[in-house]
Structure 1
Amino acid sequence: MASSHAPAPAPSAVRIDSWLWAVRAYKTRSAATTACRAGHVRLNGNPAKASQTVVPGDTIRIRQPGFERILEVHVLIVKRVGAEAASRCYTDHTPERPPVPFLGLPQRDRGAGRPTKKDRREMERLRGHLEG
């Protein structure tokens, strides 16, 4: 008796938390569920519950610290796959983040002692804490 292992048919809809975990948007499924409950995930512009289903063509917005990722669903998967295979399941429409200017922190010479009040004010001014 020959056993043929045909690939499983693609699902017609997948839970959003499961899909976000499978395409590596979140490290764990529970982290994806928590993000949905906290309101950090939007499906087609509306806040998403973890149990909502996604279908190809849906747009998912994920709010992360400092920016928002925008993903368009192409392929539905349930199992977690490698990063290269996961990236083929969606199109990333996230706008390019502007580079954060690095001004550098002021450095004092080693052994120069404690900063004077004038030195401290200059350091604060460089950091942008004072207008003076």
Structure 2
Amino acid sequence: MSSVRMDKWLWAARFFKTRALASRACELGRVESNQQTAKASRIVKLGDMLQITNEGGIFSIEVLMLSEVRGSAAVAQGMYRESAESKELRLKVAEERKAMLQGDGVTEGRPSKRDRRLIHRFRGR
């Protein structure tokens, strides 16, 4: 196998849960191949440099292996090599996001009776 469709490869490498999501990401311009926006039907070859944006962050990778079938996560991670800068940037963004969520003090669910009393007192009712 010398080439694979972009959407199949993204699905097989586990960047997206379904092939339809991979195709949609290509339509929205969230996938670049060698600094060019990639369509779902674009051919992926060994050595291609891809930049993929998904809910996990922005991945800058090099294609090491081709596959049309989805395998285990260990096999999927062997299909590409992520650049060191990409890893550092994603970890930094994840830490910032985590810090923002912790610093908010947002509670889950409805306020308790005590919380409602404090809210009413704060609002001056």
Question: Which TM class, normalised by the smaller chain length?
Answer: 0.7 to 0.9
User: With structure 2 as the length reference, what TM-score do the two structures score?
Assistant: 0.75
Ranges of 4+ aligned residues in structure 1 off by more than 4 Å: 106-110
**What is the CA distance between 1:110 and its match in structure 2?**
5.7
Rounded to whole Å, the distance in 2 between the matches of 1:115 and 1:71 is: 54
* Matched-pair identity in %: 32
**What is the CA distance between 1:80 and its match in structure 2?**
0.7
Of 10, 13, 28, 1:23 maps to 13
Is residue 65 of structure 2 the alignment partner of residue 95 of structure 1? no
Rounded to whole Å, the distance in 2 between the matches of 1:66 and 1:88 is: 18
How many equivalent residue pairs? Answer: 108
Higher helix share: 2
Rounded to whole Å, the distance in 2 between the matches of 1:58 and 1:25 is: 16
Which string of whole-angstrom CA distances, capped at 9 and with x for unpartnered residues, describes residues 50-107 of structure 1? 1000111111111124731112100111111110011111112223221122314178
Of 68, 74, 97, 1:84 maps to 74
Gaps of 5+ in 2: none
Mark the structure with the bigger radius of gyration. 1
User: With structure 1 as the length reference, what TM-score do the two structures score?
Assistant: 0.72
Secondary structure at the counterpart of residue 24 of structure 1: coil
Quote the RMSD (CA, aligned, Å): 2.2
Rounded to whole Å, the distance in 2 between the matches of 1:20 and 1:106 is: 36
Rounded to whole Å, the distance in 2 between the matches of 1:49 and 1:76 is: 17
Aligned to 2:23: 33
Q: How does 1:1-132 map to 2 (within 5 A)?
A: 11-65=1-55, 67-93=57-83, 94-96=86-88, 97-98=91-92, 99-100=95-96, 101=99, 102-105=102-105, 111=114, 113=117, 114-117=120-123
